[in-house]
């Protein structure tokens, strides 16, 4: 409800006065600059007033961004329906990562505690955390766009959040996901306009530390040896890589045929998840491998195209972040299967067995489709 003072000069200060006519004029200008109301997703944080939400709805603005649950409740109460919640998703993902490490809900498999057991179902929080991190970075970088080059505003807060994620994931341990999160954050910050000197200088500090952690654990050091000389360690550390390469070699140009590969039966570990690409190479041959790579390349190219033509900066950052996250996972999984990278426990998006990975990769594609749909209005 609006209240109009009879004598503005008699109001005790400090006091905030809002002029609906000027606000409506600003809304009309904002829509004119954007091209249409459908291209806007306004920040509720800048005013936190239901009256202003209603004014925007009256002018056709139906999409809103909120930073807290109280802002969501206020916006929904004012009639808003398309509401994006940024920070609570980040907090929830951090809580889930902590829960699997410090409670009995964590499920151990293959020497790592990466899953949460909920009755007969299991859930991998790091997959959810990846999308939450992308949404947070996109939201934060858009909000700080004018100050992104300042170290204390554009760089440090994002790296500190990354550090919390990396710590919780590293103790699982899951070095592959740590790499994905780190590379994803660095690329998004670079695209967002953070100074290259800040990114490069920090990388020079991080790499030696990462190297020490990498070789400090005996199993990781052996994994590196197996990667560098797989045929000399074909019975232990290089076993997975050797049989993966044998699968590709057996497939040849045309493959052995669907269901006729034998490496998946007794030799190749985890053929339905980490090494599904090797099974494809054996059963569908080089032709099948090229087709799969082509389809993934098409997804990445389309994602980048959607980001380039997104209706707003947040949509652009969100689209490029989701695309990079999926692209990095594809490259790492294929690199491991082809013996180009040390073995990592990362799935191949949309093909590997695993409900959490499949569900959240499909959610990522759904978000990209939503951003694309907004471009058409």
**246 HSE (CA, 13 A, CB side):** 16
**288 HSE (CA, 13 A, CB side):** 18
pLDDT at 376: 63
Mean pLDDT of 191-206: 90
Query: Taken in order 268, 272, 274, 279, is the CA torsion positive or negative?
Result: positive
**60 HSE (CA, 13 A, CB side):** 13
Higher model confidence: residue 305 or residue 68?
Answer: 305
Q: Which of 248, 239, 289 is nearest to 267 (CA)?
A: 239
**pLDDT(299) > 80:** yes
Place of tokens 């005996």: 218
User: What is the per-residue pLDDT across 114-156, written as a single tens digit (0 to 9) for each?
Assistant: 778 777 777 888 888 999 999 999 988 988 888 899 988 889 9
Higher model confidence: residue 192 or residue 346?
Answer: 192
In degrees, to the nearest 5, what angle opens at C-alpha 280 toward C-alphas 279 and 281? 90
User: What is the per-residue pLDDT across 245-260, written as a single tens digit (0 to 9) for each?
Assistant: 888 888 888 888 888 8
**pLDDT(292) > 60:** yes
pLDDT at 1: 56
**pLDDT(223) > 70:** yes
Q: DSSP secondary-structure letter at 353?
A: S
Quickly state the pLDDT bin for 21 (edges 50, 70, 90): confident
Task: Say if residues 240 and 227 touch (Cβ distance below 8 Å).
Answer: no
Q: How far apart are CA 240 and CA 236, in angstroms?
A: 8
User: What is the per-residue pLDDT across 91-107, written as a single tens digit (0 to 9) for each?
Assistant: 888 888 888 888 777 77
Question: Where does residue 264 rank: exposed (0-12), middle (13-18), buried (19+ CB within 10 A)?
Answer: buried
User: What is the per-residue pLDDT across 26-39, written as a single tens digit (0 to 9) for each?
Assistant: 889 988 888 888 87
pLDDT at 305: 94
- CB atoms closer than 10 angstroms to residue 288: 19
Q: How far apart are CA 18 and CA 8, in angstroms?
A: 11
Quickly state the pLDDT bin for 113 (edges 50, 70, 90): confident
Q: Which of 294, 295, 282, 276 is nearest to 254 (CA)?
A: 282
H helices of 173-268, in order, are: 175-192, 196-216, 218-228, 239-251, 263-266
pLDDT at 325: 94
Q: How far apart are CA 176 and CA 39, in angstroms?
A: 37
Can you spell out the DSSP letters for 12-36? -SS-----HHHHHHHHHHHHHHHSS
Q: How far apart are CA 49 and CA 90, in angstroms?
A: 24
pLDDT at 183: 92
Quickly state the pLDDT bin for 2 (edges 50, 70, 90): low
């Amino acid at each position: 409800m609006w209240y109009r003072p009879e004598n503005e000069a008699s109001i005790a200060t400090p006091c905030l006065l809002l002029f609906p006519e000027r606000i409506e004029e600003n809304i009309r200008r904002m829509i004119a600059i954007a091209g249409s109301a459908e291209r806007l997703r306004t920040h509720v944080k800048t005013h936190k007033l239901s009256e202003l939400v209603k004014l925007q709805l009256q002018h056709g603005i139906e999409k809103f961004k909120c930073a807290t649950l109280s802002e969501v409740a206020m916006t929904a109460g004012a009639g808003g329906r398309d509401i994006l919640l940024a920070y609570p998703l980040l907090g929830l993902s951090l809580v889930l990562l902590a829960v699997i490490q410090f409670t009995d809900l964590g499920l151990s498999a293959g020497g790592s505690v990466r899953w949460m057991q909920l009755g007969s179902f299991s859930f991998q929080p790091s997959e959810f955390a990846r999308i939450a991190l992308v949404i947070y970075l996109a939201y934060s970088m858009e909000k700080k766009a004018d100050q992104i080059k300042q170290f204390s505003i554009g760089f440090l807060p994002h790296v500190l959040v990354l550090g919390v994620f990396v710590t919780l994931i590293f103790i699982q341990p899951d070095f592959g996901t740590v790499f994905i999160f780190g590379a994803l954050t660095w690329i998004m910050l670079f695209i967002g306009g953070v100074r290259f000197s800040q990114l490069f200088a920090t990388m020079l500090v991080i790499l030696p530390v990462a190297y020490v952690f990498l070789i400090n654990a005996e199993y990781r050091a052996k994994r590196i040896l197996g990667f560098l000389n797989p045929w000399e360690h074909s019975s232990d550390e290089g076993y997975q890589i050797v049989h993966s390469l044998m699968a590709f070699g057996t497939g040849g140009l045309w493959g052995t045929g669907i269901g006729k590969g034998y490496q998946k039966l007794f030799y190749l570990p985890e053929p339905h998840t980490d090494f599904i690409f090797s099974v494809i190479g054996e059963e569908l041959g080089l032709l099948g491998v090229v087709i799969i790579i082509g389809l993934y390349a098409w997804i990445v190219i389309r994602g980048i195209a959607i980001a380039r033509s997104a209706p707003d900066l947040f949509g652009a950052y969100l689209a490029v972040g989701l695309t990079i996250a999926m692209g990095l996972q594809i490259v790492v999984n294929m690199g491991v299967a082809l013996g180009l990278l040390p073995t990592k426990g990362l799935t191949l998006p949309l093909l590997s067995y695993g409900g959490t990975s499949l569900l959240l990769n499909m959610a990522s594609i759904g978000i990209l489709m939503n951003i694309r749909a907004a471009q058409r209005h």
